[in-house]
Chain A
């Protein structure tokens, strides 16, 4: 077995569990076993760091609560709805997305340097981070599992139409597809096209048409008919 820096005592401990789960000949059980193994490993780490005075478990609670209840894709949907409703705001978003988004109260970690990219009749935008999991937390919250997983990260840049089909989205052949690989600290928010039949809808109603995936580029905005 290769002994790299990360293959430490934990690894031997994990191998023991793997052997144990093999006895059950059950992949699902194996998965559960691994998750309970991680539960124990992370609990041990938290206990250790707390005993050493290095972390405050209550701070972890606040971090989790922030991303479960306060910072999520509703923030981004608000930005998109305002861009659809207010041409001056849309223009500001194009010129200085960080400032325009901050004016709505959305700032901070993994949203320090924002760029808004607008879908048009000609071009569909899709955001990926092939190297890790860069994602605009301040407007979309924490990334979904698929965004961080190898299938999406490997294929978005070479086979975007194949990827979009797995999300149920088929674009016309003549539509250009622009992939934004988030290789630096710029964080990209896709502004989908405003759907037809939404004239007269207010910002709150428009925001309801904007899914998280539409702001990554793996979907388009919903139609008002679909809501009824």
Chain B
């Protein structure tokens, strides 16, 4: 979707504000927000792609105004309601009012080290050979789905060069919407700055994205 999250090339946000000796967290609630988000992800009810899409659906004015941990909390609340783990009334009251969906798994303290160390690999085998090879010129498609995609707006309908075939991975555009993992080949595609930004682009700039095969066509 062309949501507020798709920020590449937008202007007006002012300078970057690096913080010297930045702490890991700026408030106690941020620690809990991290832990709650990871714990709820462990239910096995939704995928990381659906979780990203829930954040992308936060209305633009709010998305751009709040901190990233607040985006996480808003996203996880949406998913808890969607999957019947909690109701809106429960979220407002902060207390259990009724039984809800039972999760496949509850993350207990003793499970955490192994779960974090394992992560969630999302490379998957595919039957087909890759359509494109390193060194080949390709063009990204122009599309504007209302659903989840990982092809940023700035990189649509641009011609670049395949730098590497990176393996085959879960396709987020499907996986975010419960349509299955449907893995595809993934390519690192490099664009000249001028191909993306046109007149006045920094001549020393190249930008790469990681693009699933169905994002690309032959030139």
Contact = CB atoms under 8 A, between A and B. Distances in A.
Interface string A134-160: 000010011011101111111101111
Interface string A28-47: 00000001001101111111
Interface residues of B, number: 102
A179 interface: yes
Contacts of B69: 38
A157 B207 CA distance: 7
A42 B40 CA distance: 13
A163 to B, nearest CB: 6
Interface stretch (A59-67, A82-90, A189-197, A200-208): A59-67
A148 B7 CA distance: 11
A199 interface: no
Q: When A and B form their complex, which 8 residue pairs have the shortest distance between CB atoms, in order from nearest? A: A60-B35, A44-B94, A184-B210, A130-B8, A58-B109, A148-B68, A51-B96, A42-B29
Where chain B touches its partner, the secondary structure class is mixed
B157 interface: no
Contacts of B154: 130, 157-158
Interface of A: 2, 4-10, 13, 35, 38-39, 41-49, 51-56, 58-64, 66-68, 71-72, 107-113, 130-133, 138, 141-142, 144-146, 148-155, 157-161, 163, 166-167, 173-186, 213, 218
Nearest to B22: A144
Interface string B49-79: 0001001011100101001111001101110
B93 A44 contact: yes
B111 A48 contact: no
Given A62-B113, A145-B22, A176 B204 contact: yes
A213 B22 CA distance: 12
Nearest to B24: A68
A42 B33 CA distance: 7
Given A43-B29, A109-B120, A179-B207, A63 B202 contact: no
A56 B16 contact: no
A130 B7 contact: yes
B212 A184 contact: yes
Contacts, number: 293
Given A48-B96, A153-B7, A160-B202, A6 B152 contact: no
A6 B7 contact: no
B18 A183 contact: no
B96 to A, nearest CB: 4
Nearest to A164: B16
A131 B205 CA distance: 20
A138 B32 CA distance: 20
Contact of A183 (B16, B58, B152, B206): B152
Given A151-B15, A152-B16, A154-B11, A178 B94 contact: no
A166 B36 contact: no
A49 to B, nearest CB: 7
B32 A150 contact: no
Given A48-B95, A60-B36, A109-B116, A55 B57 contact: no
A130 B6 contact: yes
B197 to A, nearest CB: 6
A150 B39 CA distance: 27
A112 B166 contact: no
Contacts of B18: 144, 146, 166-167, 213, 218
A63 B73 contact: no
Contact of B206 (A132, A177, A213): A177
A123 to B, nearest CB: 9
Interface string B1-22: 0000111111101111111001
Nearest to B17: A146
A110 B100 CA distance: 30
A56 B52 contact: no
Contacts of B39: 49, 54-56, 59-60, 63
Given A39-B28, A132-B52, A64 B35 contact: yes
A52 B15 CA distance: 43
A66 B122 contact: no
